[in-house]
Amino acid sequence: MKKSILLSLVLFLALGLMTGCSKLDITEEFDIEITFIANSTTAAYDDKIVFDATESIDIIADYADKIKEIEILNVTVRLTSFNGPDDQENVLNTLSVASESSEGETTVGTVSDVLLKPLLDTEMPVTIEQAGIDRFCELIKDSPHKALVSNVGTANSEPIDFVCVFTFEVKMTANPL
């Protein structure tokens, strides 16, 4: 009788600890900004960076091995600098991610047929592709928390000279235990 009461008490405590751990989850929302320079004498541009989430976002570094989920809620783009004719248009811009060693490249989103000058200091939504969003989330969540991010595109005229910033609205869930 005493053994069954003791066993029941131990099981009850163990169940309480297991369900209690998820109550300790923290959820944070933050922005990731990635800047690209498009500078070319032709109508095509290509820029790549290795994005290290632990160096760019303190909270990723703080919870690196305890992150349960990363979710990207929204992606926008804006220009912070533009030197071109008023009618210069982005024909197609593709943002993609891959592992730091260039494996598994997947398109995150595209922007097409947009005048560039009106994007100066004005955010515009990016047409996202869920497979690329999922891949970027995976690369941010898992060690080494790095991604090779590429911005490739063409315009309707040359030369090309602008700086664009992609902003990712991110929601992270982690458990500090």
User: What is the average per-residue pLDDT within 111-116?
Assistant: 96
Quote the pLDDT of residue 90. 95
Distance (Å, rounded) from C-alpha 47 to C-alpha 116? 17
In a domain, 70, yes or no: yes
pLDDT band at 47 (very low <50, low <70, confident <90, very high): very high
Give the residue, 56 or 109, on which the prediction is more confident: 109
Residue of 168 and 12 predicted with greater confidence: 168
Q: The CATH number of the domain where 110 resides is what?
A: 2.60.120
Model confidence over 135-157: pLDDT tens digits?
A: 999 999 999 999 999 999 999 99
Query: Is it the case that residue 62 has pLDDT exceeding 50?
Result: yes
pLDDT of amino acid 59? 84
Asked if the structure places residue 7 within a domain, the reply is no
- Overall number of domains in the chain: 1
Task: Quote the pTM value.
Answer: 0.85
Answer yes or no: is 5 within a domain.
no
User: What is the torsion angle, in degrees rounded to the nearest 10, for the CA atoms of residue 141, residue 143, residue 144 and residue 148?
Assistant: -40
Please tell me the predicted confidence (pLDDT) of residue 126: 97
Q: How many CB atoms lie within 10 A of CB 70?
A: 22
pLDDT range class, residue 168, cuts 50, 70, 90: very high
User: What span, in angstroms and rounded, lies between the C-alpha atoms of 158 and 42?
Assistant: 5
Domain membership of residue 14 (yes or no) is no
Distance, in Å, from the CA atom of 92 to the CA atom of 146, rounded to the nearest integer, reads 26
CA distance 119 to 43: 18
**Residue found under tokens 């000279």:** 161
Tell me, yes or no, whether 97 lies in a domain: yes
Q: Is residue 83 part of a domain?
A: yes
Q: 72 lies in which domain range? A: 25-174
Q: Would 115 be classed as within a structural domain? A: yes
Going from the C-alpha of 153 to that of each of 7, 14, 110, 112, 114, the distances in angstroms are 65, 55, 9, 9, 12
Look at residue 19 in the predicted model and tell me its pLDDT.
Answer: 47
Position 4 pLDDT exceeds 90: no
Q: Which pLDDT belongs to residue 147?
A: 97
Average pLDDT, the chain: 90
Is 2 part of a structural domain of the chain?
A: no
Q: What angle do CA 56, 160, 82 make, to 5 degrees?
A: 65
Q: How far, in Å, are 10, 60, 85, 128, 162 from residue 78 at the CA level? A: 57, 24, 17, 15, 10
